[in-house]
Amino acid sequence: MTMYIGGVPAHPLVVHLAAVAIPLAAVMCLVWALRPGRFSPSWRLATVATTTVAAVSLLLARWTGEGLLAPMGLSEENLGDVAQHAQYANASTVATLALFVVAVLLYAVGLPRFSAKAPAWAPAALRALVAVAAVAAIVAAVLVGHAGAQLAWADFPRG
């Protein structure tokens, strides 16, 4: 089902939130992973909140994008020209959701009630995973965005 906002398909509108939120969250997480002691608990919470917005906006972008398949004469089984964009969207989903989960775990390990129970190696391991997920999220977001832009603008200014 295609969702519209003001008569325009929602996907090109919603995708801009994901295009900003994912790299922003990834950079914030990367800085947190590389400089863990430099930031206040409220900054860490803001990072988790930004990562949450990134994950939700990505899922909303996927949902609205999948809604465009039928009006384009495509389906999940026959993606046509959208296949590469869909593959990158799958990679972006995995990377962004992994970043969200690991960021939440890293935040939890820093809380007093959990830090005493966590193994000594947990914060360092989670920081390493956050860094890897952050880089993967940035790369996947760039790839999916570029493939989507090629689909939308390939015929410009002719089409």
Q: CA 5: distance to chain centroid? A: 22
Print burial letters for 2-36: b (CB count within 10 Å at least 16), e (below 16).
eeeeeeebbbeebbebbbebbbebbebbbbbbeeb
CA nearest to 55, candidates 3, 108, 95, 10: 95
Query: Residues 6 or more apart from 26 whose CB is under 8 A from it?
Result: 54, 99, 133, 134, 135, 137, 138, 141
The ranges of the chain with pLDDT < 70 are 159
Q: Which pLDDT tens digit goes with each residue over 41-70?
A: 999 999 999 999 999 999 999 999 999 999
Q: How confident is the model at residue 15, as a pLDDT?
A: 96
Res 159: pLDDT: 58
Domain boundaries, the chain: 4-153
What is the model's pLDDT at position 64? 96
Q: Which one, of 45, 5, 52, 50, lies nearest residue 27 by Cα?
A: 50
**Judging by beta carbons within 10 Å of its beta carbon (0-12, 13-18, 19+), is residue 87 exposed, middle or buried?**
middle
For residue 72, which amino acid is it? M
CATH architecture assigned to 4-153: Up-down Bundle (1.20)
pTM: 0.92
